Amino acid sequence: MRSRGRLRRRSAITGYALLAPSLFGVVCFLLLPVLVVLWLSFQSWDLIGPITFVGLDNYQSVLSDGVFGNSLLVTLIFVALVVPIQTLIGLGAATLLTRGLPGSAWFRTIYVLPWICAPLALGVVWKWILAPTDGALNTLLGQRVEWLSDPALALPAVAAVVIWTNVGYVTLFFMAGLLNIPGQILEAARIDGAGAVKMFWHIKLPLLRPTMFFVLVTTVISAFQVFDQVYALTQGGPARSTDVVAARIYYEAFDAFDLGRAAVMAVVLLVILVVITLAQQFYFRRRVTYEMD
C-alpha cells in the first residue's frame, strides 16, 4: 500500500516537473497578465503617475461610452465580413489544391506566403497599393477611389487585406483535414454513385467538422483581436469606421494614456471571446466527428 502511494506521489512529481516549463509560461505570460489587466481595470493610471483605486468608475465610463460602443459594432461587422469569406475561400482553395492539379504545390506555397509575413509590413505595402493618389490599385483601375478614407469603403478594404493575409492559414488546415479523410470512405461513396457535389456535402464536409471547429475558433478569435493591419492602414479612421476594439484599446492606453479604461475594454473583449468560444464548443460538441471508423 505504502509503496503504491509512494509510486503515485513520485509519478505526480515527475508529471509536475515535466509540466513545469510550460506551466511557467502559461502562468507568467497568460494568467498573470490577465489578472493584472483585471486588477488595472479598477484603477486609474497614466503609466507614470500614481495608481489610484477607482472601483467601478472605469467600467461605468467605458460601458456608457459611445466611442467604445462604436468599436464593438465595427468589430462585429469586421468579424462577420472576414470569418465566413476567408473560411469559404480557404475551403474552396483546399478542395482544389487536394485534387492534384498541375501547379498545386506552387499555389500551396503562394497561398501561405502572406500568412507567414509580418502583418504590419503587409499593411504598409497595402497602404501604398490602396493610396488614393498614385496608389497601385487606382492606377490599375484608372480612377480615383478613396479606399481607406471613405468610411463606407475603409472597413471592407481592411477586411479584404486581412482575408488575403489569412486565407493561406485556413487553406492549410482544410487541406490537412481533406487529406486525412480515408480513401476507402470516398471510394465506397463513389461506388455507391455519389458525384463530386454529393461527396463534398455528405462525406467530406461532415468529416471536416473537427477542422472546421478549430478553424472557426481560431479565426474568430484572431478577427476579434485584429490590430496590426488597422494600425498600418487606417489607424481606426476615417470617422472611426475601422476603430476595432483592439485598436481602441491601444489608443486608449498609448495615446490617451488611460490604462484603466483600456483594461476595461480588454476585459470586455476577453469576456466576449470566452462566450463565443464556449458557444462554438457547445454547437460543435455533438456534431464533431473525431473518429472515422
Partner 1 sequence: MAKRSTIIAAGVAGVLLVIAGAVTALNFSSSESSSDATTVTVRLWDEQVAAAYEKSFSAFERDNPDIQVGVEIVPWDDYFEKLRTDVAGAGAPDVFWVDGGSYPAYADAGALLDITTALPADAQAGWSAPVVAQYTRDATLWGVPQLADPGIAVYYNADLLGDAGLTADDVSALTWDPTGDNDTLIGVLQKLTKDYNGNTADSAEFDGSNLSQYGYNAGYDLQAMVLNYLASNGAQFQDESNQYAFASDAGIASFQYLVDLMNKWQVAPSAADTNTNGDFSREQFLQGKMALFQSGVYNLANVSAGANFDWGVVRLPSGPAGAISGVDGIAAAGNAASQHPAETQRVLEWLGSAAGSEFIGASGAASPAVLAAQPAYAAYWTSENVDISPFYDVLAAGTAPAPRGAGWPAAENAMRPLLDEVFIGRTPVDSGVRAAQNAANATQTE
Return residues touching partner 1 (CB under 8 A). 10, 13-14, 17-18, 20-21, 46-49, 127, 131-133, 144, 146, 148-151, 234-240, 251, 254-258
Q: Which is nearer to partner 1, 27 or 47 (CB)?
A: 47
Phi-psi category of 146—alpha, beta or left, where left has phi over 0 and alpha has psi -120 to 50? beta
Question: If DSSP codes are grouped into helix, strand and coil, which group holds residue 250?
Answer: helix
Residue 150 CA to chain centroid, in angstroms?
A: 25
Q: Which is nearer to partner 1, 96 or 137 (CB)?
A: 137
- Cα–Cα dist 167/112, whole Å: 8
Q: Which is nearer to partner 1, 169 or 231 (CB)?
A: 231
Residue 55 contacts by C-beta under 8 Å, 6 or more apart in sequence? 42
Q: How far is the CB of 285 from partner 1 (least distance, A)?
A: 37
Q: How far is the CB of 179 from partner 1 (least distance, A)?
A: 38
Q: How far is the CB of 146 from partner 1 (least distance, A)?
A: 5
Q: How far is the CB of 149 from partner 1 (least distance, A)?
A: 4
Q: How far is the CB of 133 from partner 1 (least distance, A)?
A: 5
- Report which residue type is found at 229: Q
State which H helix or E strand residue 249 sits in: helix 245-254
Q: Which is nearer to partner 1, 115 or 251 (CB)?
A: 251
Q: How far is the CB of 198 from partner 1 (least distance, A)?
A: 50
Residue 209 CA to chain centroid, in angstroms?
A: 18
Beta bridge partners of 52: 44
Q: What are phi and psi of 100, to 5 degrees?
A: 70, 30
In this structure, are strands 52-53 and 43-44 parallel, antiparallel, or unpaired? antiparallel
Closest CA to 119 of 229, 219, 221, 226: 229
C-alpha cell at 16: 509536475
Question: What's the angle, vertex CA 56, arms to CA 55 and CA 58, rounded to 5?
Answer: 105
Q: Which is nearer to partner 1, 51 or 181 (CB)?
A: 51
Q: How far is the CB of 93 from partner 1 (least distance, A)?
A: 32
Q: Which is nearer to partner 1, 44 or 280 (CB)?
A: 44
Q: How far is the CB of 269 from partner 1 (least distance, A)?
A: 20
Q: Which is nearer to partner 1, 254 or 283 (CB)?
A: 254
Distances (CA, A) of 224 to 16, 103, 106: 34, 34, 31
Q: Which is nearer to partner 1, 48 or 197 (CB)?
A: 48
Residue 217 CA to chain centroid, in angstroms?
A: 8
